Chain A
Amino acid sequence: MPTLQNLRRGGRFRIPGDRAMPFYLFLSLLLFSTGAYYLGRKRAFAVSGGQIRNLHSLPSFYGSYTALWCILPALIVFALWVTLQPGIIVDLVVADLPPELHNLAPDRLNLVVNDLKNLVSGNFVSSTPDPAMLAAADHYRNLRTIGNAALWVVVLTLATLGIAYAWRTISPTFRARNRVEQVVNLFLIASSTIAIFTTLGIILSVAFESILFFQKVPITEFLFGLQWSPQTAMRADQTGSSGAFGSVPLFAGTLLISGIAMLIAVPIGLMSALFLSEYATPKFRAFAKPTLEVLAGIPTVVYGFFAALTVAPFIREIGTAMGLHVASESALAAGLVMGIMIIPFVSSLSDDVINAVPQSMRDGSYALGATKSETITRVLLPAALPGIVGSILLAVSRAIGETMIVVMAAGLSANLTANPLEAVTTVTVQIVTLLTGDQEFDSPKTLAAFALGLMLFVVTLILNIIALHVVRKYREQYE
């Protein structure tokens, strides 16, 4: 029986000072650069001979210039050091291990290194540590202490050198503002490229693993296969050991659930947008519109909980009362709740679109004697149709990519069916089940998740591009 003490502490403890070290160093760097700012400013006053108008830039720019010289080089070295240090230390320690440990096969050596790290951080170790390991751990700790001390010295020296350099360059004719603005400009440009790098990162990471996957499983099987059972067996002679990776049932399931969701969301969303913009009093609109939008702010995991614990049992009960067989994880429950989630999405997008239709078109229709509903169905909707289609496409892409609702309320087994009362699985559910828990990065099972991710990304991207294009074209039409 574990002792109370262990229960309480979760059975582990750490040396606190060591982990917070980079943080304190960073803090002192910030302090240093604040000091550098004032130093630089003071220096600028000094070289100006008391006349600020002798200076090329405002004194604060000289301060910023000094601060930048203080912090930037030091930060770069700091970042490099922190990323490289652990690897170097491990190499040094391994090189010093006694030969019988040193000459182990690489994967065994990895285990030893892991044990060593655990030993160093004071965690439980898989076996009782032998003296060689204890010595190595001591060695590791020593090296780390030395490394950390050296880091402090190097970084703070660099910061001081930076200040000294800036101090020397400051003169009344020195163009400090231009230099500082250059740096800021660089930062702005670098920031704006992050979005590009994110997209690139998504494409590369997903595509790379997918290529590995398609080397193991032919792409035609993945795209057109009707069987999905990714559980590869432990032994080759087990039945069904090969694993099947046909993604058609997953996409069929995704489409079924998204279809149900759209059947709920499009009529309700569109009709409420029409009602709120054409019929409702301003007072009612001011109350109902934000209330409906609350639905968009609720986290998806809450919808999932609602679907799994309230809607699914409810549907099952009704079904059994009517003598139907309803699976406890029916596609209907997940689709229904997903539809509720998407209502505000459809309604607020179509609201924008409907409001963009010029008032003169409505007035013209009324002048001809049309009723309000006739104006809406014969004039407004045809005029707004491209925009509405665009917003529906966006909603579809949202439904396809939605994860938590289906993870919590849809099934796991890949059934190829169009019956909404049965359990189906979706692309996102499979990605989550394949990637949570233990994983090795070379099994087709894990790689399959990335291939599915690639498909998901491509499909939603195409939908989004079409939708954004349509919506934009449509807006231009009436502007």
Chain B
Amino acid sequence: MNKPTSAASAPAILNRDIKTIVNAGLKRRHAAETRFRWYGLIAVSLGLLFVVLMFGNIISKGYPAFWQTYIQLPIKFDPAVIDPQGSRDPKTLESADYAALVRAGMRQMFPKVEGRLELRALYGLVSSNAALELQSRVLQNPALIGAEQEIWLLASADVDTLVKGNIDRSLDETERPIKDNQVGWVDKLKAAGKIEKQFNTILFSSGDSREPEMAGIRGALMGSFYTLLVTFLLSFPIGVATAVYLEEFAPKNRWTDIIEVNINNLAAVPSIVFGLLGLAVFINFFGLPRSAPLVGGLVLSLMTLPVIIIAGRAALTSVPPSIREAALGMGASKLQMVGHHVLPLAMPGMLTGSIIGMARALGESAPLLMIGMVAFIVDVPKGLMDPATVLPVQVYLWSDLPERAFVERTSAAIMVLLAFMILMNGLAILLRKRFERRW
């Protein structure tokens, strides 16, 4: 490789020349090096900044939603309103006009308020849920009738927003959802200690509602649960079986090649296309009901399948061949070898992969829009065929609503969603750390 150099006669001069050339450029090159390094650092910092920004934004918007404003009112369980005949018949008790009791309580708090419009504004401070609350108390304990109690009742969403400081009081009255006289009453109640923020149990105990203060995520949570249940029950056994077949039994031929390429491609198909498949096949062709968790689970399991298969195959390949040979040497059949030895060793890896796949399915919403899981559903679903929605779709639905209180609830729902995802991913990591064996 040595080239005969023409300048061999003057190596010293050449050396010095190279040195000066190199030294001359060194400053520039080192500057470029530092610059490049900074670009990299800036890129990473930007990425980390985005993470912080997203979480900070969601949490700062969402955490107030975990508290809800209540107003304490003196409620007189007037027998003339609830049960004029005194029969204590549950049906009468159930259909009584409890809203009247709430109105009476409000009037008692503010005896000076008069006039239809004024009164209506006053009654608007309390949520329509208050009547339901009184009803359930009376039904549980009919002895309440005739008594007088101070009861904490749910405030309306506008009052809640005001109390949380999200309504600009300096705005003109007409631009605020809550009027000057209402602000005055709220301030009076606050001064009297009759307004309080309590932990928001409604968020976790009720389904969707048009009234922000009464809307909860229980329906969506149950919908997500049923959908994921179907997804797991279908995709885990099928995924494991496919991985086992491809890795342990399948002959290496054209057909298995096709299956393999196919699975890799399926993993990268846009999720919305799976929604189209679900709509055309499960709903139109097989006539399954729209909005049902069953259909959602079917679609999501088709989406999760490639993830589980790929993770499962990786877990199977990491089991050393010596285990297989030892089992076969002891006279086990091929299926026994897989079932008794290889699969148990690969199981932690497979479970890790499936949990990650399930976490992804939990956050998926686009294909579910296609199969009608976007309806406004008040009832909490009780089975696989009930119309339902899922948590991410609930986020999507709420994010469309203009009320400030819904923005808060949307963020809170996102926090719950993220908490579940972190939980699932944490479980996967734990599983991997605990049970994964290095050979």
Instruction: Determine whether B187 belongs to the interface, using a CB cutoff of 8 Å to chain A.
Output: no
Instruction: Determine whether B280 belongs to the interface, using a CB cutoff of 8 Å to chain A.
Output: yes
Do residues A431 and B272 form an inter-chain contact, with CB atoms below 8 A?
Answer: yes
Do residues A460 and B268 form an inter-chain contact, with CB atoms below 8 A?
Answer: yes
B residues in contact with A202, CB < 8 Å: 269, 273-274, 276-277
Do residues A192 and B265 form an inter-chain contact, with CB atoms below 8 A?
Answer: no
Instruction: Determine whether A160 belongs to the interface, using a CB cutoff of 8 Å to chain B.
Output: no
Interface residues as binary, B270-297 with A (CB distance below 8 Å gives 1, 0 otherwise): 1111111101110011000000000000
Instruction: Determine whether B39 belongs to the interface, using a CB cutoff of 8 Å to chain A.
Output: yes
Interface residues as binary, B297-336 with A (CB distance below 8 Å gives 1, 0 otherwise): 0000010011001000000000000000000000001010
Q: In residues 393-425 of chain A, which contact B (Cβ within 8 Å)? A: 394, 397-398, 400-404, 407-408
Chain A min CB distance to B49 (Å): 10
Do residues B269 and A394 form an inter-chain contact, with CB atoms below 8 A?
Answer: no
Name the prevailing secondary structure of the B interface residues: helix
Chain A min CB distance to B98 (Å): 7
Q: A195-B266, A295-B51, A298-B418 are in contact. Are A309 and B399 (CB under 8 A)?
A: yes
B residues in contact with A177, CB < 8 Å: 333
B residues in contact with A297, CB < 8 Å: 359-360, 363, 421, 425
Instruction: Determine whether B369 belongs to the interface, using a CB cutoff of 8 Å to chain A.
Output: yes
Complex CA–CA separation, A371 to B32 (angstroms): 9
Interface residues as binary, A459-473 with B (CB distance below 8 Å gives 1, 0 otherwise): 011001100100000
Do residues B280 and A181 form an inter-chain contact, with CB atoms below 8 A?
Answer: no
Do residues B242 and A295 form an inter-chain contact, with CB atoms below 8 A?
Answer: no
Please tell me which one of the listed residues A3, A194, A271, A371 contacts residue B95 in the complex, with CB atoms under 8 A apart: A3
Instruction: Determine whether B385 belongs to the interface, using a CB cutoff of 8 Å to chain A.
Output: yes
Do residues A205 and B50 form an inter-chain contact, with CB atoms below 8 A?
Answer: no
A residues in contact with B359, CB < 8 Å: 297
Q: A185-B335, A205-B277, A408-B396 are in contact. Are A192 and B242 (CB under 8 A)?
A: yes
Do residues B50 and A206 form an inter-chain contact, with CB atoms below 8 A?
Answer: no
Nearest A residue to B272, CB-CB: A403
Q: A19-B383, A372-B33 are in contact. Are A192 and B277 (CB under 8 A)?
A: no
Interface residues as binary, B374-408 with A (CB distance below 8 Å gives 1, 0 otherwise): 10001100010100000011011001000000010
Nearest A residue to B136, CB-CB: A8
Do residues A192 and B41 form an inter-chain contact, with CB atoms below 8 A?
Answer: no
Q: A195-B306, A403-B270 are in contact. Are A295 and B276 (CB under 8 A)?
A: no
A residues in contact with B198, CB < 8 Å: none
Instruction: Determine whether A21 belongs to the interface, using a CB cutoff of 8 Å to chain B.
Output: no
Instruction: Determine whether B94 belongs to the interface, using a CB cutoff of 8 Å to chain A.
Output: yes
Do residues B280 and A208 form an inter-chain contact, with CB atoms below 8 A?
Answer: yes
Do residues B273 and A187 form an inter-chain contact, with CB atoms below 8 A?
Answer: no
Q: In residues 100-139 of chain A, which contact B (Cβ within 8 Å)? A: none
Instruction: Determine whether B364 belongs to the interface, using a CB cutoff of 8 Å to chain A.
Output: yes
Do residues A10 and B379 form an inter-chain contact, with CB atoms below 8 A?
Answer: yes
Instruction: Determine whether A300 belongs to the interface, using a CB cutoff of 8 Å to chain B.
Output: yes
Instruction: Determine whether A201 belongs to the interface, using a CB cutoff of 8 Å to chain B.
Output: yes
Do residues B366 and A198 form an inter-chain contact, with CB atoms below 8 A?
Answer: no
Instruction: Determine whether A322 belongs to the interface, using a CB cutoff of 8 Å to chain B.
Output: no
Do residues A184 and B263 form an inter-chain contact, with CB atoms below 8 A?
Answer: no
Instruction: Determine whether B54 belongs to the interface, using a CB cutoff of 8 Å to chain A.
Output: yes
Which segment of B64-72, B145-153, B158-166, B244-252 sits at the interface? B244-252
Q: In residues 18-67 of chain B, which contact A (Cβ within 8 Å)? A: 22, 29-30, 32-33, 35-37, 39-44, 46-48, 50-51, 54, 57-58
Do residues A10 and B378 form an inter-chain contact, with CB atoms below 8 A?
Answer: yes
A residues in contact with B36, CB < 8 Å: 372-373, 376-377
A residues in contact with B360, CB < 8 Å: 297
Nearest B residue to A187, CB-CB: B241
Q: Which of A4, A301, A308, A369 has the most CB of B within 10 A?
A: A301
A residues in contact with B425, CB < 8 Å: 297
Chain A min CB distance to B18 (Å): 10
A residues in contact with B266, CB < 8 Å: 195, 198-199
Do residues B132 and A8 form an inter-chain contact, with CB atoms below 8 A?
Answer: yes
Do residues A181 and B33 form an inter-chain contact, with CB atoms below 8 A?
Answer: no
A residues in contact with B417, CB < 8 Å: 299, 302
Do residues A184 and B335 form an inter-chain contact, with CB atoms below 8 A?
Answer: yes
Do residues B270 and A373 form an inter-chain contact, with CB atoms below 8 A?
Answer: no
Instruction: Determine whether B264 belongs to the interface, using a CB cutoff of 8 Å to chain A.
Output: yes
Complex CA–CA separation, A460 to B272 (angstroms): 12
Nearest B residue to A276, CB-CB: B44
A residues in contact with B29, CB < 8 Å: 371, 374
Please tell me which one of the listed residues A4, A347, A457 contacts residue B98 in the complex, with CB atoms under 8 A apart: A4
Nearest B residue to A188, CB-CB: B245
Which segment of A146-154, A225-233, A286-294 sits at the interface? A286-294
Complex CA–CA separation, A464 to B263 (angstroms): 12
Do residues B305 and A453 form an inter-chain contact, with CB atoms below 8 A?
Answer: no
Please tell me which one of the listed residues A19, A195, A201 contacts residue B305 in the complex, with CB atoms under 8 A apart: A195
Q: A292-B47, A304-B396, A404-B365 are in contact. Are A4 and B94 (CB under 8 A)?
A: yes
Do residues B418 and A302 form an inter-chain contact, with CB atoms below 8 A?
Answer: yes
Instruction: Determine whether A310 belongs to the interface, using a CB cutoff of 8 Å to chain B.
Output: yes
Do residues A188 and B244 form an inter-chain contact, with CB atoms below 8 A?
Answer: yes
Do residues A195 and B259 form an inter-chain contact, with CB atoms below 8 A?
Answer: yes
Please tell me which one of the listed residues B249, B364, B395 contacts residue A302 in the complex, with CB atoms under 8 A apart: B395
Do residues A194 and B238 form an inter-chain contact, with CB atoms below 8 A?
Answer: yes
Do residues A19 and B268 form an inter-chain contact, with CB atoms below 8 A?
Answer: no
Q: A267-B43, A404-B365, A435-B370 are in contact. Are A292 and B272 (CB under 8 A)?
A: no
Chain B min CB distance to A210 (Å): 10
Instruction: Determine whether A260 belongs to the interface, using a CB cutoff of 8 Å to chain B.
Output: no
Instruction: Determine whether A272 belongs to the interface, using a CB cutoff of 8 Å to chain B.
Output: yes
A residues in contact with B245, CB < 8 Å: 188-189, 191-192
Complex CA–CA separation, A187 to B385 (angstroms): 27
Q: Which of A5, A12, A208, A305 has the most CB of B within 10 A?
A: A305
Q: A292-B48, A428-B366 are in contact. Are A453 and B273 (CB under 8 A)?
A: yes
Instruction: Determine whether B221 belongs to the interface, using a CB cutoff of 8 Å to chain A.
Output: no
Do residues B414 and A302 form an inter-chain contact, with CB atoms below 8 A?
Answer: yes
Do residues B277 and A397 form an inter-chain contact, with CB atoms below 8 A?
Answer: no
Chain A min CB distance to B227 (Å): 14
Do residues A196 and B258 form an inter-chain contact, with CB atoms below 8 A?
Answer: yes
Do residues A198 and B305 form an inter-chain contact, with CB atoms below 8 A?
Answer: yes
Q: Which of B32, B245, B264 has the most CB of A within 10 A?
A: B245
Instruction: Determine whether B195 belongs to the interface, using a CB cutoff of 8 Å to chain A.
Output: no
Q: A295-B47, A301-B363 are in contact. Are A194 and B242 (CB under 8 A)?
A: yes
Of the A-B pairs whose beta carbons lie under 8 Å apart in the complex, a sample of 13, sorted by A's number, is A7-B132, A8-B132, A20-B383, A185-B249, A192-B250, A195-B259, A195-B309, A196-B262, A271-B43, A297-B421, A340-B54, A373-B32, A403-B270
Given pairs A188-B241, A340-B54, 4 additional interface contacts (CB within 8 A): A194-B242, A205-B281, A299-B392, A301-B395
